[in-house]
Amino acid sequence: MQFAKKLLETSKETDYYERLSVGILVGGLKTLELSDRDRQTISIACSVPDDSVAGIGWCSRSLWKPKHSFEGLLYRVGEHVIFADPDEGDTVATLESLFSVKIDDVPVLFCKGKRFEYDGVTDLGLKVVSPTDTTVLFKASVLSRKVMLCARSKDDDDDERQCFILVDYMRRVFPVTEGTVVVPYYPVVNDMIKIKGDDGQVWKARVLSFNLTRLTFNAKFFIEDVTQIGIWVPERSPVQVIHFNSVLGISKGHWQVEHSSWIDEED
């Protein structure tokens, strides 16, 4: 793990930094021979010919995602996760393999596992999932977060299928309604956040980095473009150090131009 962190740090000024930021295999590496079916799945997902996908790759039991959580997050074979399926959205799976394979001589990280299907909700509104025999293979770049699965008691349901209650404890956006628990929000890099300003004003800023020990982060303030309503652009001011206590929450919207033009979707 320390080697992976050092590798990322020393690559900051190189062309490898963005690729390494997606994830780094850690632990003992072993060679992996890909099946024809897996190579075909990868070629379709990456829109490349089959022969662009190497037949031999490298696998490990752990994958470090440096941009997840506050100081990176380690994913392991056997854990339950959610990944962002391009067609179906958040999808639950059990990790069975973590590997890297070259596509046109460029290493790309992939995850492989067994998919779960959504199977209703409990009386308390918690999602329920059931295991399937379907194998999923996806890029590590769409790996979203870890989840916990709690087996349902047989008394909870007359259905004989094995079901689990989905505990999505790493989800960043929590529904806040009367009677729910309010979970503290901690910003992550490139979030657009709302900050408590002077005289009750609400400011917007993009998170550049943070210090978990001091509970502060560096941020660049944004202002609304005077020529385009709802478009926010960087303010001509220095980067500011802000305390976590000033954060009101994450701003609704999306990047029109990555990290330089924000489309606001606040009510």
The full DSSP string for 29-96 is -EEEEPPHHHHHHHHHHHT--GGGB-SEEEEESEEEETTSTTT-EEEETT-EEEEEETTTEEEEEEEE
Residue 48: inside a domain: yes
Is there a single domain that holds both residue 217 and residue 123? no
Residue 159 predicted with pLDDT over 60 = no
Contacts of residue 151, defined as CB under 8 A and 6 or more positions apart, other chains included, come to 162, 163, 164, 165
Residue 224: inside a domain: yes
Residue 12 predicted with pLDDT over 60 = yes
**Which domain covers residue 210, as residue numbers?**
192-264
In angstroms, rounded to a whole number, what is the distance separating the alpha carbons of residues 185 and 219? 16
Residue 185: inside a domain: no
Residue 57: inside a domain: yes
Residue 172: inside a domain: no
Residue 64: inside a domain: yes
pLDDT tens digits, residue range 124-151? Answer: 778 899 999 999 999 998 898 899 998 8
CB 118 within 8 A of CB 127: yes
Residue 178 predicted with pLDDT over 60 = no
Q: Which helix (H) or strand (E) holds 7?
A: helix 2-10
Residue 183 predicted with pLDDT over 50 = no
Q: What CATH number should be reported for the domain holding residue 67?
A: 2.30.30
Residue 115 predicted with pLDDT over 80 = yes
Per-residue pLDDT, 86 = 78
Residue 184: inside a domain: no
| Total domains present in the chain | 2
Is there a single domain that holds both residue 231 and residue 119? no
Is there a single domain that holds both residue 160 and residue 94? yes
Is there a single domain that holds both residue 206 and residue 145? no
